[in-house]
Amino acid sequence: MSLAISPALRAALAEWLTHRKALAGASDNTIKAYSADVSAYLAFMAEHHGGSEGTAAVLAVGPGDMRAWMAQMRGRGLGPRSLARALSAVKGFTGWLADRDGQEATAALSARSPKYRRKLPRPLAEDAARDVLDTIGDDAREPWVAARDTAVVTLLYGCGLRISEALGLTGAVAKMPQVLRITGKGGKERLVPVLPMAAEAVADYTRQCPFDLGKTDPLFRGMRGGPLNPRLVSGAMVRARTRLGLPASATPHALRHSFATHLLSAGGDLRAIQELLGHSSLSTTQAYTAVDTARLMDVYAKAHPRA
């Protein structure tokens, strides 16, 4: 596919991706997705117009060209959400290219993104979250493994960490500070208060862990001493939710959702929750208000059933 893209466009795409990574702090996964989406778009336009093209041709793309590309993407089975993501990447690249070359690209930049319904986070109920923390280690092979799994999920629920963030901690925080400095998506840093229950769970694990927890070494370890694989945490969650009769949506990430939703239910400020979660946009955090409202309406419906 990349053979259809001119050397000038390949160089421009590489420059844009470098720019996104350096200045916007985009993660490696985001850069990979951008590259795939824009490369597919450029290859389509080259084929659509009958041959390899330079940057000027891309900036001259018309509304009909954009409709043809989006129709082709839909024909490949791409859903509205994925198409919206691809269009966002295309707009980002095209806008940057237009600015760089002092040109305009009205058609691409004015293309309307397909509408899609955002999936609401699916948190656990408060008692279910507590049950997970209490029983996650029940079938562990070793007592220290049980303590490890408990410590990890307690950090997810008690501090709102992503699984990658929890497993990225090092022995430098084996003695949990009152506030953790977390590096999240795109290298963005945030400060997260550590609740006593999280500090106690980690302390219990570090007392039992049979491996030396050096300051630069991973805090959470596998059975052979290597970094803990996130799949093992997911497996422990599967076993716990099966025992507890919880739905398949009860995943490690659902504990982070639960952290946010339960804070909001308790009167937490939306801006503060945004900071704790490390969301770059408040609109992402606002999804939890919809969850909270949905739960409230469910309670109301059960308390006041229709005749």
In the three-class reduction of DSSP (H, G, I as helix; E, B as strand; rest coil), residue 179 is classed as strand
Of the candidates 118, 127, 120, 121, which has an alpha carbon nearest to the alpha carbon of residue 246? 127
Average pLDDT over residues 152-165: 87
In the three-class reduction of DSSP (H, G, I as helix; E, B as strand; rest coil), residue 189 is classed as strand
pLDDT band per the 50, 70, 90 thresholds, residue 118: low
Residue 199, pLDDT > 60, answer yes
The pLDDT tens digits for 44-54 are 988 888 776 77
Residue 84, pLDDT > 90, answer no
Element (H, E) at 163: helix 163-167
pLDDT band per the 50, 70, 90 thresholds, residue 298: low
What is the pLDDT at residue 307? 41
Given 20, 148, 257, 279, the catalytic residue: 279
pLDDT top residue among 305 and 113? 113
pLDDT top residue among 280 and 23? 23
Residue 71, pLDDT > 50, answer yes
Residue 25, pLDDT > 70, answer no
Of the candidates 15, 89, 4, which has an alpha carbon nearest to the alpha carbon of residue 44? 4
Q: Is 302 a catalytic site residue? A: no
**Residues near 241 by beta carbon (within 8 Å), at least 6 away in sequence:** 132, 247, 248, 250
Instruction: Write a three-state SS string for 62-121.
Output: CHHHHHHHHHHHHHCCCCHHHHHHHHHHHHHHHHHHHHHHCCCCHHHHHCCCCCCCCCCC
Q: Is 288 a catalytic site residue? A: yes
What is the pLDDT at residue 296? 45
Q: Is 162 a catalytic site residue? A: yes
What is the pLDDT at residue 167? 93
Q: Is 41 a catalytic site residue? A: no
In the three-class reduction of DSSP (H, G, I as helix; E, B as strand; rest coil), residue 297 is classed as helix
Given 241, 256, 257, 262, the catalytic residue: 256
Question: Is-above-0.75 flag for pTM?
Answer: no
Given 185, 190, 239, 243, the catalytic residue: 185
Average pLDDT over residues 90-94: 89
Q: Which domains occur in the chain, in start order?
A: 2-110 (1.10.150), 126-303 (1.10.443.10)
Cβ-contact 55, 9 below 8 angstroms: yes
Q: Is 19 a catalytic site residue? A: no
Average pLDDT, the chain: 80
Given 148, 162, 257, 262, the catalytic residue: 162
Given 41, 157, 205, 288, the catalytic residue: 288
pLDDT band per the 50, 70, 90 thresholds, residue 212: very high
Q: Is 221 a catalytic site residue? A: no
- What is the distance between the terminal CA atoms of the chain, rounded to a whole angstrom? 61
Percent helix, strand, coil in the chain, to 5, is: 65, 5, 30
The span from the CA of 165 to the CA of 48, in Å, is 43
Percent of the chain whose predicted confidence (pLDDT) is above 70: 79
What is the pLDDT at residue 299? 42
Residue 302, pLDDT > 60, answer no
